[in-house]
Amino acid sequence: MKFGNGCWLQKEGYECFPPQQIYFTKIEPKKVTLCAPTSRISHRGDTLGGINLTLEITSPMPEVLRVKTYHHLGIRKTGPDFELETQENVELEIEDSDEKICIKSGSLSLTITKENFSMEYARDGEVISKCNGRDLAFMKTDWKGYAYDKGSKDAYMRQQLSLSVGELVYGMGERFTPFVKNGQTVDIWNEDGGTSTYQSYKNIPFYLTNKGYGVFVNNPGDVSFEVATEQVSKVQFSVSGECLDYFFINGPTMKEVLAHYTGITGKPSLPAQWTFGLWLSTSFTTNYDEETVMSFINGMEERGIPLQVFHFDCFWMKDFHWCDFTWDNRVFPDPEGMLQRIKAKGLKICVWINPYIAQESPLFLEGMEKGYFIKRTNGDVWQWDMWQPGMAIVDFTNPQACQWFKDKLAVLVDVGVDCFKTDFGERIPTEDVVYYDGADPVKMHNYYTYLYNKVVYELLEEKKGKEEAVLFARSASVGGQKFPVHWGGDCWSTYEAMAESLRGGLSLTMSGFGFWSHDIGGFENTSTADVYKRWAAFGLLSTHSRLHGSTSYRVPWAYDDEAVDVVRYFTKLKMQLLPYIYSNAAYTAKTGVPTMRSMVLEFEKDPTCAYLDRQYMLGGNILTAPIFREDGIANYYLPAGTWTNYLTGETREGGVWVEEHHDYLSIPLWVRENSIIPVCNQMERNDDAYDKNLQLKVYELKEEASTCVAQNGSQVLSIEIKKDGEAITCKAETENAYEIRFVNCKLTSADNAELVVDGNDTIVKVSDPKAVVVCR
């Protein structure tokens, strides 16, 4: 929200009340409280009236400072509030003098001057952001002189923090606009707007910069960001009301910022190993029955395409009945038997749901009579006719409504459903709305999806165990990363939409989310076979991979025979890489660093990576660049170092842009130097164990490299490989035999292992897992 009119003026009718000085200081071990008048106090008479602001500074963990600024503290507090992981504040280091007060947490400090109020955030004494003048302020948008008797109506709090030369801003959720947010106005407001506009399904009031810090605004309502727009060298964030609460989060690396941010809001949960396989959907408005479903499943099997999950979209229920959680008996007369027949083929089953109950649903009267729906202020059930005629919305602030919803889903789990696609959650009204617990409807608009996905995730935890709980969710708010997986929403079936989707996914993973998917081939309309094949390569090198569409099926043979080859090839490639991908996912769950990550997150010091949004790192060691052109030309950047093409074994020195042609069975896929990539070449399904068939591929070993391998939630191997002259020493902790493949490296001997030369590579077969292997 813009308040100003250029550098010096405010918009007409707007008034700005910034702190002028610090008048009183209250210092406690874990909190500093400051009284900051917005007019200068020259004598006691100046204290009679006027607007004071109160600042409270605490630290929930080292390297994080929390700043709350209040105008009127007595405003009635209404929820919801984000569920934060931090409960206790840590002690602060405080230096107080007549001129300033300095508050430290770890290497992060905030210095506030007492005269001519200003704030400076510093890391080990180096200023990384600051504000002064009118940057922090209470704003009134209906100001007509001194009289102020409308409470919080048209009142706002805002903060402006400086950006230095070359400083770039990222994050704020899944955004399909340019990846770098400088020059954008971003309103944190969940909308069902597709992937081709400024709107977003997943809005997160958090940003981080390439200067190694982040800012999280702790408000579930409509937080408005002006990122180098109103003031081109500042980020402004503003909220309605009388209080602004934000966390300033130090890195110093962007990965460490994400680790600290997810330490506050929750780490991404680790999805089950089987979720990393290929998902196939019925698509949305297509006609299907058990015969159709089985033809898809059998068709994938006959064509040698490993399938892991089959998804039933909306019309598994009767039209107009969403949601009644009952199979449409016109096309599924024996749903329980059908599910068992599908599961006998080794597949998992996902079904579509949303948090809305249409009037035709037999559950509508039950929910209405028991008070399980959001209501209007006059006591009516809140209904409208968008999406589903007569649609009501489940009130997840009501514990009994939550249990009612869980009970309906539990029946489905009991007959064979493994997970749920939790669609929608964005179309949540804010006017003429009453919640069971009295929550603020404006704050609930974004927060609703958190409660919705939490209820479904908890049900799956209760029924299947935490290690098996997984969603396929479209909407999200802060903390939603705890309920993976999220997909990118409704995109068109074009190269432009494919690029939009990737921008959105990279922006989301810069916002605390560890895992991400998208509709392979696009959702709306039907793509060309060309786009479908390119998108399949991209989708099967994302953390999660689903074939899904709107009005047409997405099985590859619906496009052409080559599409079958492409989907088969990249599905098997991803399965081969599963030990690497899943081990990175375990690291994500531990640290909050995403598995699918932007180039700038991995290569902060390389200025060329700052704007890259058409390529990414899958884990920390593999670079991929989807192809967005009909002529098959790929344009991508390799950072400095020696890179090895995973598919061909070719090596190339980095620090260069590459332009090259790829056929449909190829994609730029490069491994950075000094990497160990665990793979398995003997997998048939993604839920298979691979710990007894691991091959560790070593690329361009410099001095030493290490990795850990996870399987089904547990570590099954850790290895450290050191190079000292001509000798390479390998020490592993594991229970099973394993292989090491030194790519493009010919060795002549191995102590305690068998050595086999394979072309340009050397394979070292280790039969004794306790042995220290020395190769030369």
Query: How many Cβ atoms from other residues are within 10 Å of residue 246's Cβ?
Result: 23
Q: Could you tell me which residues come within 8 angstroms of residue 626 by beta carbon, excluding any fewer than 6 positions away?
A: 498, 502, 534, 535, 537, 538, 541, 614, 615, 667
**Helix, coil or strand: residue 348:** strand
Return contacts of 151-154, CB within 8 angstroms, 24+ apart: 151/72, 151/75, 152/72, 152/75, 152/240, 152/241, 152/242
Q: At 535, phi and psi to the nearest 5?
A: -70, -35
- Rounded Cα distance between 724 and 701, Å, is 11
Strands (E), 38-125: 52-58, 64-70, 93-96, 100-105, 108-113, 118-123
Which residue in 490, 519, 530, 673 is the catalytic one? 490
- 631 catalytic, yes or no? no
- Cβ atoms of 392 and 383 closer than 8 Å: yes
Q: What is the DSSP letter of 45?
A: G
Based on the residue annotation, tell me whether 490 is a catalytic residue of this protein. yes
Which residue bears the tokens 């709306």?
524
> Which residue among 230, 242, 423, 519 is the active-site one?
423
> Phi/psi of residue 191, each to 5°?
-140, 150
Residues 6 or more apart whose Cβ sits within 8 Å of residue 632: 661, 662, 663, 664
Instruction: State the CB neighbour count (10 A cutoff) for residue 149.
Output: 5
Catalytic residue among 222, 226, 426, 440: 426
The upper half-sphere exposure of residue 579, i.e. CA atoms within 13 Å in the direction of its Cβ, equals 27
Q: Are 588 and 594 in contact (CB under 8 A)?
A: yes
- Give the phi and the psi of residue 712 in degrees, each rounded to 5: 45, 45
Kindly report the number of other CB atoms within 10 A of residue 378's CB atom: 7
∠ CA 125-213-63, rounded to 5°? 65
Residues 305 and 500 sit within 8 Å (Cβ to Cβ): no
In the structure encoding, which two tokens stand for residue 395, read together?
A: 């009130």
**456 contact partners, CB below 8 Å, separation of at least 6:** 353, 405, 406, 409, 420, 422, 471, 483
Determine whether 414 is an active site residue.
no
Q: What share of the chain is helix, strand, coil (3-state, %, to 5)?
A: 20, 30, 45
Q: Facing residues of 309 across strands?
A: 279, 348
- Other Cβ atoms less than 10 A from the Cβ of 384: the count is 14
Q: Find how far residue 709's CA is from the centre of its chain.
A: 23
* Beta pairing, strands 108-113 & 118-123: antiparallel
Q: How many CB atoms lie within 10 A of CB 208?
A: 26
The helix (run of H) or strand (run of E) holding residue 264 is helix 254-265
Q: Measuring CA to CA, which residue among 177, 172, 169, 176 is closest to residue 188?
A: 172
DSSP conformation class of 47: G
Which residues are known catalytic residues? 423, 426, 490
